[in-house]
Amino acid sequence: MKVSAFSVLGCAPALILLKLGCLARGAYVLDGRTLPDDFIFSCGTSAYQIEGATGSQAEGGKGTSIWDTFAHEKGLGHIANDETGDIAVDFYHTYPRDLPLFRQALGVNQFDFTVAWTRILPNGTGTTANPAGLNFYRDVIMTAHRNGMTAACTIYHWDLPQALQDKYGGWLNKQVVSDFRNYAEIIMDGLGDLCDDWLSMNEPRTFCQEGYGADPVSAPAIPNGTFKTEITCRHNAMLAHAEAHEVFVEKKKQGKVKGKFGIKIDGGPGVPMDPTSAADVAAVDRHHAFEFWEVSPLVNGTYNPTMRTALGSLLPSFTAEETKKVAGSYDFVAFDAYTSTWIAALNASDAAACTGEQSDFWPECVEDSETDHAGYLIGKPTESDWNFRANDTIYVGLRYMHENGIKAFTVGENGMAVIKEASLHLGERVVDADRVDWYRSTFKNINWVLDAGLPLIGASFWSCIDNLEWSSGFTIKFGLVDTKPGYNQTRTSKMSANYVKAVMTGELDSRYSYFPSEGI
Ligand code: NOJ
């Protein structure tokens, strides 16, 4: 046990910690296995999803982000029930009581949150941080620290300043790369003494596909998006990440920031529909090359050969100088692990027709489905139509990353929404047996990953608290702590929070059923 870890967190020695509910790093025991001192269990949130004090309710000089604009375009079906994040779950005001609750209810030793670019630089650019915005985040982190949690600071989670979207098209213009670097530098100067770890951005594939691709469902929902616009966005996002990493490395040398630097990437690992078919197994490899597209740039500074061959000049290239910056631009990769997908090779006619955007299968040119040919779902359904509790999502995703050169990783996000949870009474909502079942599977996967000796350094539960689930609004609840949207709403921890805490602290063994009679 490192004394320094306790002094940072202001906690007492290890054995009394469990009793006091003051878990510090080094205290986790998972199914009889003592985890390394610096293993992290955290819960995650993002600015637009929880903070409020934005849009029509903006406080502290906050500027408008593309999500503020999108949410206020009412009547277009952008967000369920035309909800907005103007108040969200009011974390901007409630964090002094939320953070101790997250710590106590979930037993996590880190709080993952994101900084809203428009709280720091209301119009996206500038040379000094908006003091009210900076002070808000400083106090959030200090509150986390006082309550026994370190803080992982994510620089960007989808809420681009509207001003940059208006000025030059946001992520489609290379100018965003230097504006992101400038913002990253300002935020590292402002929070560098406090943030314990850093992440550049959340899920570039998803925000580019959903906001800048064909048929967009997320902000800024550009008209006439194509695969070309989506991939341009992804390329610029990777360059922006690498610039932020370069700033981090420089500032770390100067002693101005501390901890590790990562990026959050998402993707659904493939399961061959017919594991005895060489063609289906090869289709899974191809799916992974596209799905985990960030891996090769992060390791090698170039796109993987499968994508390069399939896309040719449609895929942008990194210059020699960019390749140097992008290759190795991380200390860890955070894998946002949710669901898996069945994969099969295409039949001959679909394969022949898979030559461009007119084909439903292009550019992967594999069959990708939540049901296999016999009609079996890939896993147990949840309230999100894209999210299933498959058997080995975390393990397969991390194994792919390991085999392809990623040197350390965390589970960056993992979680689910219980079916119809939003329409249940509080008493029913908090007895969330399906979420317990989900996290039991999570721990099983973590055990597999650790048994295989893969370099897993932490795992984060999504989400600390119910929040605005983007275009699904408040109809879908991912929290381990229950709440409703609005000012100063009651917080109630769910059974799943109790479950993860009991497992992480060695009180409960996840290999045994939590509800023997029901088999969960
Ligand atoms: C990943 C995203 O990062 C997060 O914002 C979202 O709420 C969860 N997935 C659940 O959909």
The CATH number assigned to the domain holding 114 equals 3.20.20.80
Residue 264 domain-assigned (yes or no): yes
Let me know if 518 is a catalytic residue: no
Q: How far is the CA of 254 from the centre of ligand 1 (A)?
A: 34
For residue 518, the SS3 value is helix
Give the phi and the psi of residue 306 in degrees, each rounded to 5. -60, -45
Nearest in space to 145 (alpha carbons), one of 176, 109, 113: 109
Q: Do the domain assignments include residue 196?
A: yes
| Burial of 195 per CB tally in 10 Å (0-12, 13-18, 19+) | buried
Compute how many other C-beta atoms are within 10 angstroms of the C-beta atom of residue 428: 12
Atom of ligand 1 nearest to the CA of 417: 10
Protein residue closest via CA to atom 6 of ligand 1: 469
Of ligand 1's listed atoms, the one at least distance from the Cα of 338 is: 9
Spatial distance between the Cα atoms of 112 and 45, rounded to a whole number of angstroms: 6
Of the residues 210, 413, 421, 469, only one is catalytic, namely 413
- Annotated active-site residue in 83, 185, 203, 322: 203
Tens-digit pLDDT string for the chain (520 aa): 333 333 333 344 443 344 334 545 557 999 999 999 999 999 999 999 999 999 999 999 999 999 999 999 999 999 999 999 999 999 999 999 999 999 999 999 999 999 999 999 999 999 999 999 999 999 999 999 999 999 999 999 999 999 999 999 999 999 999 999 999 999 999 999 999 999 999 999 999 999 999 999 999 999 999 999 999 999 999 999 999 999 999 999 999 999 999 999 999 999 999 999 999 999 999 999 999 999 999 999 999 999 999 999 999 999 999 999 999 999 999 999 999 999 999 999 999 999 999 999 999 999 999 999 999 999 999 999 999 999 999 999 999 999 999 999 999 999 999 999 999 999 999 999 999 999 999 999 999 999 999 999 999 999 999 999 999 999 999 999 999 999 999 999 999 999 999 999 999 999 987 665 555 5
Q: Please identify which residue in the block is written with the tokens 């990953």.
A: 449
Report the separation in Å between the CA atom of 374 and the middle of ligand 1, taken as the mean of its atom positions: 30
In a domain, 154, yes or no: yes
Is the residue at 510 inside a domain?
A: no
State how many domains the chain has.
1
C-alpha to C-alpha distance for 507 and 131, rounded to whole angstroms: 44
- What is the C-alpha separation between 236 and 333, in angstroms, rounded? 18
Given a contact cutoff of 8 angstroms between Cβ atoms, the answer to whether 383 and 432 are in contact is no
Q: Whose CA is nearest to atom 11 of ligand 1?
A: 469
230 catalytic per annotation? no
Ligand 1: list residues with CB < 6 Å. Answer: 46, 49, 202-203, 336, 413, 462, 469, 478
pLDDT at 513: 73
- Domain span at residue 349 reads 29-505
| pLDDT recorded at residue 132 | 98
Quick one: which atom of ligand 1 is closest to the CA of 158? 5
Q: How far is the CA of 470 from the centre of ligand 1 (A)?
A: 8
Atom of ligand 1 nearest to the CA of 203: 3
Quick one: pLDDT at residue 516?
56
Whether residue 468 lies inside any domain: the answer is yes
Cis-peptide into 463, omega within 30 deg? yes
In three-state secondary structure terms, 101 is helix
Q: If we measure between CA atoms, which residue out of 211, 203, 214, 433 comes closest to residue 336? A: 203
Residue listed under structure tokens 């029930």: 81
Amino acid identity of 279? A
511 belongs to a structural domain? no
Entry pTM: 0.95
Omega cis (within 30) before 363: yes
Which of 49, 65, 470, 471 is the best mutation target for the ligand 1 pocket, counting ligand atoms within 8 Å of the beta carbon and taking the most? 470
- Considering the domain boundaries, does residue 512 fall inside one? no
- Dist. CA 266 → ligand 1 center (Å): 10
**Ligand 1 center from residue 297 Cα (angstroms):** 23
| H-only helix segments in 257-406 | 278-291, 295-300, 305-311, 320-326, 348-353, 393-403
